[in-house]
Amino acid sequence: MKILVAEPLAKQGLEILRAQHDVDEKIGLTPEELAGIIGEYDALLVRSQVKVTAEILAHATRLVVIGRAGVGVDNVDLEAATKAGVVVVNAPTGNTVSAAEQTIALMLALARKTAAADASMRRGEWKRSSFTGVELRGRTLGIIGLGKIGQAVADRARGMEMTIIGYDPFVTADQAALHGVTLADVDTIIATADVITVHVPLNKATRGIVNADNIGKLKPGVMLINVARGGVYDEAVVAKALTDGKIAGAAFDVFETEPPAADNPLLTAPNTILTPHLGALTAEAQLRVAEEACEQVIDVLAGRSARYAVNAPLLTPETARAIAPYLPLTETLGRFAAQYIRGGIKTLTVDVAGDLANHDASQLTAAALRGVLADATSERVNLINAAFLAKNRGLTVNERKTNDAGTFAALVTLTVEGDAGKAVLAGTIANGEPRLVRIDDNLLDMAPTPFMVMTRHQDKPGTMGRIGLILGEAGVNISSMTLARSTPRNDALMLLAVDDEVSDAVAVQIRNHPNVLDVWVIRAATER
């Protein structure tokens, strides 16, 4: 088969491709030139600069697979690739060691004021006492995000005799202990860590982990490190804290806008070390990502599954008719369950009942995992990589089938279990519309919406009205509601579909009502 390499790759990767296929290296093609020749090729290899757009894919009549030699796939139109039947693979593990070592390097440089001392020497100065550093041995390192890179950082920090605490809702205490990490919540890390490093994807939950609301809670003398994603720390808030002397130092390898604008306050803040997104930029990492991407391209061309496919495979017509309507519903159930249980999930059980039980349910399981992991990983979860990602997160996944769906033609039930307890959610499709029909032991019937509010409250007169009033005063419109209760005047579960996202402050107002036992703000929108 014919493979087009459109950006520079390590020669070892090219050798992997040339051992089995014809390879053309054509670097620096314009979009028009790429569109003009892409129809001749079965595979395309890119890095980060070439944009594989829907327009280019429209000309890719032979294309089977796109290999991205790196982690992100922002330069590939995944939706268009999926619709065209093109598998997209990336190389998410090749930069793990490099990113972890960059984190450790920045931490040591902050502790010993290396950059400032070097600059002073080059000015002809000899001011030793101005650069008195601190030892890291015995200090507490807080790691937010214990995926591959976070765990690698912990392994290296152990050798420096640091005390390590970490947070990751999908990592169990036993898993964390294997890397010398004691689990803690984010607030505890903010308040007690001497050094904080983040290794999380950027999303609604992780944006501004250190922000104006909690900057004052940081331990005096703390050092902040970001080798993850720009925006995880509020850059302006961190810069002001550095200027005011509230924190000892900050090292940023990534920025919200890259390259950072000339007026970015971090550029002029004291006690900073700033590097131009070097986390994955080592010779070894570039070799590994090239090999990882090229090996997967070979697998796909040979008809084998790729370990790190980032788009879901197309459904066969028969499977599409039966399964496709339930995929977004199942993903929504997974997102709902992850937010409802409030804690690390150890076990996910997918029960498929009724007509669906006669089909391969693996894609439903993948959809459930995609929902459960939506805010925990930047990797896209699909049929090919779902089992691997679940295993990597220490998540046990069970799939069960039964022909008995009760009063429903078909039913999907998710059971999640973790440190915080257990939750059960079920849904079905009725008249072509997704319906949420069960939350724990409560039976209900409501179409899930992107934004929902759920309360558990005492079934007393006026409670529901007061909750509605709080939302109304905040400008939040209720589109529908359902109520489930065991007996009159006992505890009740109320689920509200709302048109607008509910802020944390409004949720606190609801929770402070004397009859409200608990409140959840659910963001169930499926992101692509």
pLDDT tens-digit readout, 200-234: 888 888 899 999 999 999 999 999 999 998 999 99
CATH 3.40.50.720 domain range(s) in the chain: 2-94+284-301, 96-274
Lowest mean pLDDT among 104-113, 174-183, 336-345, 442-451: 336-345
pLDDT digits (tens, 9 = 90+) for 97-121: 999 999 999 999 999 999 999 999 9
Extract the tokens encoding 417.
């279990």
The pLDDT value given to residue 8: 93
User: What is the pLDDT averaged over residues 238-260?
Assistant: 95
Given a contact cutoff of 8 angstroms between Cβ atoms, the answer to whether 173 and 191 are in contact is no
482 strand-pairing partners: 495
Confidence of residue 528 (pLDDT cuts 50, 70, 90): very low
Query: Is the per-residue pLDDT at 378 higher than 70?
Result: no
The pLDDT value given to residue 135: 96
Higher pLDDT, 309 or 137: 137
Extract the tokens encoding 57.
């894919």
User: What is the pLDDT averaged over residues 269-286?
Assistant: 93
Query: Is the per-residue pLDDT at 519 higher than 60?
Result: yes
Burial annotation 91-129 (CB, 10 A radius, 16+ → b, else e): bbbbbbbbbbbbbbbbbebbbbbbbbbeebeeeeeeeee
Q: What angle do CA 283, 198, 189 make, to 5 degrees?
A: 145
Given a contact cutoff of 8 angstroms between Cβ atoms, the answer to whether 18 and 45 are in contact is no
The H or E element that residue 348 is part of is strand 345-354
Angle between helical axes of 11-18 and 283-301 (0-180°, round to 10): 20
CA distance 501 to 277: 33
Say what the pTM is. Answer: 0.70
Angle between helical axes of 283-301 and 96-111 (0-180°, round to 10): 160
How many other C-beta atoms can be found within 10 angstroms of the C-beta atom of residue 298? 21
CATH 3.30.70.260 domain range(s) in the chain: 449-528
User: How would CATH label the architecture of 315-448?
Assistant: 2-Layer Sandwich (3.30)
Q: What is the dihedral of CA 404, 405, 408, 411, to 10 degrees?
A: -150
Q: Strands 22-25, 272-274: parallel, antiparallel or unpaired by DSSP?
A: unpaired
Query: Is the per-residue pLDDT at 391 higher than 70?
Result: yes
* Torsion angles phi and psi, residue 205, rounded to 5: -75, -30
- Residue the block writes with tokens 């022909």: 403
Q: Which residues are catalytic?
A: 229, 258, 277
- Fold (CATH) for 2-94+284-301: Rossmann fold (3.40.50)
Angle between helical axes of 96-111 and 114-122 (0-180°, round to 10): 60
Lowest mean pLDDT among 237-251, 318-332, 455-469: 318-332
Query: Is the per-residue pLDDT at 260 higher than 90?
Result: yes
Lowest mean pLDDT among 177-186, 187-196, 417-426, 478-487: 478-487
Extract the tokens encoding 82.
């999926």
The pLDDT value given to residue 490: 78
What is the pLDDT of the chain when averaged over all its residues?
91
User: What is the pLDDT averaged over residues 232-253?
Assistant: 96
The H or E element that residue 319 is part of is helix 317-323
Higher pLDDT, 343 or 412: 412
Lowest mean pLDDT among 214-218, 377-381, 405-409, 506-510: 377-381
Phi-psi region of 216 (alpha: psi -120 to 50; beta: other; left: phi over 0): alpha
How many other C-beta atoms can be found within 10 angstroms of the C-beta atom of residue 525? 13
How many other C-beta atoms can be found within 10 angstroms of the C-beta atom of residue 424? 18
* Torsion angles phi and psi, residue 313, rounded to 5: -65, 155
Q: Strands 181-183, 163-167: parallel, antiparallel or unpaired by DSSP?
A: parallel
Query: Is the per-residue pLDDT at 526 higher than 60?
Result: no
Q: Which of 374, 362, 363 is nearest to 337 (CA)?
A: 374
Extract the tokens encoding 79.
């939706």
Based on its alpha-carbon atoms, the radius of gyration of the chain, rounded to whole angstroms, reads 25
User: What is the pLDDT averaged over residues 22-27?
Assistant: 97
Q: Strands 87-89, 65-68: parallel, antiparallel or unpaired by DSSP?
A: parallel
User: What is the pLDDT averaged over residues 429-451?
Assistant: 93
Q: Is the dihedral of CA 293, 297, 300, 302 positive or negative?
A: negative
The pLDDT value given to residue 348: 95
User: What is the pLDDT averaged over residues 69-84?
Assistant: 84
250 strand-pairing partners: 224, 272
The pLDDT value given to residue 383: 61
Query: Is the per-residue pLDDT at 311 higher than 90?
Result: no
User: How would CATH label the architecture of 449-528?
Assistant: 2-Layer Sandwich (3.30)
DSSP 371-437: HHTTTT-SSPP-TTTHHHHHHHTT-EEEEEEES--TTSSEEEEEEEEETTEEEEEEEEEETTEEEEE
User: What is the pLDDT averaged over residues 426-434?
Assistant: 93
Query: Is the per-residue pLDDT at 316 higher than 70?
Result: no
pLDDT digits (tens, 9 = 90+) for 441-492: 999 999 999 999 999 999 889 999 999 999 999 999 999 999 988 677 778 9
Burial annotation 374-406 (CB, 10 A radius, 16+ → b, else e): bbbbebbbbbbbbbebbebbbbebeeeeeeebe
Residue 527 per-residue DSSP state: P
The top-scoring range by mean pLDDT among 78-87, 385-394, 503-512 is 503-512
CATH number of 96-274: 3.40.50.720
Q: Is the dihedral of CA 458, 459, 464, 466 positive or negative?
A: negative
Q: 8 vs 47, 167, 281, 492, CA distance in Å?
A: 8, 37, 14, 61
CA distance 257 to 345: 33
Extract the tokens encoding 421.
């307890």
Query: Is the per-residue pLDDT at 384 higher than 60?
Result: no
Query: Is the per-residue pLDDT at 248 higher than 50?
Result: yes
CA distance 333 to 340: 10
CATH 3.30.1330.90 domain range(s) in the chain: 315-448
